[in-house]
A and B are shown apart, each in its own frame.
Chain A
Amino acid sequence: MKSDIIIIGAGPAGLGLARALADTGLCITLIEKQKADILADPPLDGRDIALTHDSLRIMKEMGMLKSIPKNEIAPICQAQVFSGDSSYFLGFDTKGTGKDALGFLVPNNAIRKAAWDVVQPFANISIRTEAEVKQVSTTATGGTVVLTTGERLAAPLIVAADSRFSSTRKQMGIPASLTDFGRVAIVCRMTHSKPHDSVAKECFFDAWTLAILPLLGKKSSIVITLPADEADAVMQMPLEAFNGRIERNLGAALGKMRLTGERYAYPLVAVYATRFAAQRFVLIGDAAVGMHPVTAHGYNLGLGGADRLAQEIRKAISLGLDIGDSTVLDSYARAHRRASAFLYHGTNILVKLFTDHRRGALALRNLALRVGNHLPPFRKYVTRQLTGKAA
């Protein structure tokens, strides 16, 4: 079977790219391991995604925002970073941005459902679910994907959006640098007796970090990152003990805390591909850049990248260029590298600094918070990443 583009992986980046190109009339085939009913109605996975204003704009253009219930979108008006039990914090707010919120929290499963919903009306987008890729190969004139069933699919351009552990990236010989933090993120939702005032908090203790992300009402999304060997104990911790532990860590700032629903554990691994493009093959989403979640840029970068590639492909169509041409893929790769390199490496340095137990590191991060607070360009950079350039 022949298409114009084969996208491997029907996650948010893959579906986002397909939707962004839907009206070009290109024949797009997505290949996805999971079942259609799971993609159409993804279960809760405990993750809440912090969306920047840019992401929100792209989602609106794609029609995704319509399919996310209003009561699932919560604004973040301020962000505060704490070191240890100290009450001193590095703060970010919307002052001078002309926006009401730094960003918005939306449950991951609602985003996934919306991404699935918006591609359904398009006859030129077909999704092969429960399909697994056995082999990918490309030549100067085209690409071929062989499924485990032996079926062969062909297209002039193949896009990998198959997670940070992308097997097709490996098959195409693109190396990636991988950082295993040896840590696990445990995510859950909690209700609390005091209001959060739409303030997101990131607290760095010696071995733990704790992020409080404000949902609507007296409810927050909690992200605990901790050494992998301590994760099981926290996952199994009895309810009362768990509630008490989080309450104490927050110095009772939110009053009485209560876990609602499940706890979910995710190992923390960050990945950066050394190249984003090869012959008739291009990486998007986590397959290109898999971020550590602490700066909340993974999803935003993935969506921005899909949008960027879609723009390059549209430009190629308007010039009559072959969409798999290396000039097309290289311009995307250069732009996406510019958009991601500093954020990726900056985030990893930050994570190292803030999870280092040594005394020197503690002093350094306390200093970093103070310096950060008094460094307008730094604060402006962070705020702009969230609220967009229109500010």
Chain B
Amino acid sequence: MSSIDPVEIARFSSHAAEWWDPNGALRPLHRLNPVRIAYARDHVCAHFKRPSGAKDALKGLSWLDVGCGGGLLCEPLARLGASVTGLDASAEAIEAARAHAQNMDLTIDYRCGAVEEMEDETYDVISALEILEHVTDPAAFLHSVAQRLKPNGILLLSTLNRSAKGFLLGIVAAEYILRWVPRGTHDWRKFIRPSELQAMLKEAGLEMQDLTGMRLDPLNGAFCLTQNIGVNYLSTACRTSF
């Protein structure tokens, strides 16, 4: 059973040509990218006790990015030295990702499919950013993801909070007022409260390690990290130690 929602996949497939257009439909993701990469890099380096400032800070780490889309996250990770596998259910997105990586001279293992269908392989790091709010059953999804994580691995997640503020900023402001993302990109009912995420992780044998908010800095139009987890938030998790 896969937690992939065909309606969601069709929506993102229709943007395939625009994945790498910084002013296209996925502009907010481009804006979000620097801050989420910094978060991922810093937490992964801290977890594996290595310096995060180096040009090849992620060298030698096997990394699975679930819901990789056009490869916005995979490419920077590959440049920082990780051996990256990018997984997405949209064949169009995977095709766009492969073509772009080739143009950029990057080697990334892109696969079309669902994490539930993967077997055997395990990874040092798994990321699923801006994905949880698009799957049909986040608990089942996290359970499958946990199976792919090495014993000492680390999981990175980000999603939107099902709070009043999450509704106002994530839906009303982003889709209707500012029109940063096309209407219907998000369904507020699928947003996840941090407490719910923590419970689902626990069910999957994982322990939440960190919870950090993201917000838009209106002065320079870039996203930055914040203590406030009312709207967008990032989280890390590791296997529960016995």
Bound: A140/B31 CA distance, A: 17
- Find chain A residues with CB under 8 A from B37 CB: 319-321
- Please tell me if the beta carbons of B222 and A320 are within 8 angstroms of each other in the complex: no
Bound: A334/B222 CA distance, A: 11
Considering only residues 92-138 of chain B, those with a C-beta below 8 Å from chain A are 100, 103-104
- Please tell me if the beta carbons of B220 and A326 are within 8 angstroms of each other in the complex: no
The reply to whether the CB of B77 lies closer than 8 angstroms to some CB of chain A is yes
With an 8 Å Cβ cutoff, the count of chain B residues facing the other chain is 27
- Please tell me if the beta carbons of B55 and A317 are within 8 angstroms of each other in the complex: yes
Report the minimal beta-carbon distance from A339 to chain B, rounded to whole angstroms: 13
- Find chain B residues with CB under 8 A from A326 CB: 22-23, 30
Q: Write the A326-352 contact mask toward B (1 if CB under 8 angstroms, else 0).
A: 110011001100000000000000000
- Most B CB within 10 A of own CB, among A25, A321, A335: A321
- Find chain A residues with CB under 8 A from B58 CB: 320
Which residues of A approach B to under 8 Å, CB–CB?
A: 24-25, 140-142, 315, 317-322, 325-327, 330-331, 334-335
- Please tell me if the beta carbons of A319 and B220 are within 8 angstroms of each other in the complex: no
The reply to whether the CB of B21 lies closer than 8 angstroms to some CB of chain A is yes
In this complex, what residue of B is CB-closest to A140? B20
In this complex, what residue of A is CB-closest to B99? A141
Bound: A327/B76 CA distance, A: 13
- Please tell me if the beta carbons of A322 and B23 are within 8 angstroms of each other in the complex: no
- Find chain B residues with CB under 8 A from A330 CB: 221
Bound: A325/B223 CA distance, A: 16
- Please tell me if the beta carbons of A331 and B55 are within 8 angstroms of each other in the complex: no
Q: Write the B31-56 contact mask toward A (1 if CB under 8 angstroms, else 0).
A: 10110011001000000000001010
Q: Write the B191-230 contact mask toward A (1 if CB under 8 angstroms, else 0).
A: 0000000000000000000000000000011100000000
- Please tell me if the beta carbons of A321 and B30 are within 8 angstroms of each other in the complex: no
- Please tell me if the beta carbons of B80 and A320 are within 8 angstroms of each other in the complex: yes
Q: Given A331-B220, A334-B220, A334-B221, are A319 and B20 also a contact pair (CB < 8 Å)?
A: no
- Please tell me if the beta carbons of A319 and B38 are within 8 angstroms of each other in the complex: yes
In this complex, what residue of A is CB-closest to B23? A326
